[in-house]
Amino acid sequence: PEKGLKDYYKDYFPIGAAVAPRNLTGPEADLIRQQFNSITAENAMKMGPIHPEEGRYNWTDADAIVQFATQNGIRMRGHTLCWHNQTPRWFFTDAAGNPVTKEVLLARLKSHIETVVGRYKGKVYAWDVVNEAIPDGGTDFYRKSKFYEIIGEEYIERAFEYAHAADPNAQLFYNDYNTESPGKRERIYGLVKRLKEKGVPIHGVGLQGHWSLQEPTAAGLEESITRFASLGLKVQITELDVSVYPKEHERRARRETDKSEFTPEMNEKQAAHYKMLFSVLRKHKKDITGVTFWNVSDKSSWLDNFPVQNRKDYPLLFDVNLAPKKAFHEVVNF
Ligand code: XIL
C-alpha cells in the first residue's frame, strides 16, 4: 500500500485521529490503518458515555476502539477523565438532587479515574487527565466548573494523582484549546508550572489545535511549544483541525445558510496553513510526542455541527470521499 502520514513522520512523532466505533469498519478503517499510528476515542471514554449512572459503566464503545488499536498495532490515547462538558448530572448531585459535598465529589472522581484508567492500564499510553480547566478570557484564573465550585482548585492535582496511581506508566496531560491566545497561554503555563513544582505527576500539555485559516501564526505556535517545554513537559497536538470558516464569524454565523462549498481558494489557503503548522511542529520534534487530528476525513467532522448546527466544514487532510487534499501533499512534502 501507499505511504501514509505515519510513514512520512516516522522520524518525528506519531500521527493520530479521533475515532468512533462507526469509523472502524470499511473504507474509513482502511484509511486509518494506512495513515495513522495513534487513535483517540472521540467520545467513548468521556464521563457521560462511559459512566452514565453511578456504579454503571458502559464499556462497549471504548473497548471496541481499544481492541481495534491493539489488533492493528496502533497506539491509543485516552480522552478525557475530568471535564466540565459531557459529564452526567448524577456526578454532582445526591439522590435528592442536591449538590454533593467536596468529599463525595472527590471520592466519585477517584473511583471513576481508578476504574477507567485501571481497565485500560498498559493499553492506553497517554491520558488527557484534565480538560479545559482555564477560561478563555475574563479575570478568573480557573473556569468556574462544577468541579471547581465544589472541590476548589485541588480537583486538578487530585485527578492527576488518581490517574498516576491507577497506571504509573501512563503519560498524563493537561489539555486545552485557544492555547495560543496570550492571556490563556500564560494562565495555563502558571497552572502547569505550579503542578510541576508541587510534584504532581503531569508529563505534558495537549494543545487541542482547533485552528482556522488565520490562526495560529508560526510565532504564536512556537511560543506555546517552547514555553510549555521549558518546564520539562512534552507537548502534543491532540485535536488538530483547520476550519475553513473565520473564527470571528462564530457568533453571528449560526445559520445553515452561512455554509459554503469547499472552494479552490479555501483549498489553497488551508494547504498553505497546514504546511506552515507542520514545519513548525517538525522543527520542535524534540518536544512533540504526538499530533492527532480530530476526526479522520471531511466526510464527517465534529465541526459540521460546531459552533453552528449543520454547517459543513472541511477541516482535515482527506476530503469527503477520503481522498488526500492539497493540504495532505503539503504536509508530507518536506
Ligand atoms: C467533541 C466531539 O468531537 C463531538 O462529537 C461531541 O459532540 C462534543 O465533543 N474539545 C474536546 C473534545 O476536548 O472532546 C471535543 O469533542 C471537541 C472540543
pTM across the whole model: 0.97
ipTM surpassing 0.90: yes
Query: What is the percent of the chain with per-residue pLDDT over 90, rounded to a whole number?
Result: 93
pLDDT of residue 308: 84
Query: Residue 253 pLDDT > 90, yes or no?
Result: no
pLDDT at 325 over 60: yes
pLDDT for 210 equals 97
pLDDT digits (tens, 9 = 90+) for 148-200: 999 999 999 999 999 999 999 999 999 999 999 999 999 999 999 999 999 99
**Span from the CA of 302 to the centroid of ligand 1 (angstroms):** 7
Helix, strand counts (H, E) of the chain: 11, 9
Choose, from 28, 132, 180, 239, the residue flagged as catalytic: 239
| Helix (H/G/I), strand (E/B), else coil: 234 | strand
| Residue 239: active-site member | yes
Quickly tell me which residue has 481508578 as its cell: 114
Q: How confident is the model at residue 251 (pLDDT cuts 50, 70, 90)?
A: low
Q: By three-state DSSP, how is residue 122 classified?
A: coil
State how far the Cα of 326 lies from the Cα of 315, in Å rounded to an integer.
12
Helix axes 102-119, 154-166, angle to 10 degrees: 30
Taking Cα atoms as reference points, which of 108, 94, 178, 180 lies closest to residue 143?
A: 178
Q: Which residues line ligand 1 (CB under 6 A)?
A: 42-43, 131, 208, 239, 302
**What mean pLDDT, rounded, does the chain reach?**
96
Given a cut of 80, whether residue 252 has pLDDT beyond it is no
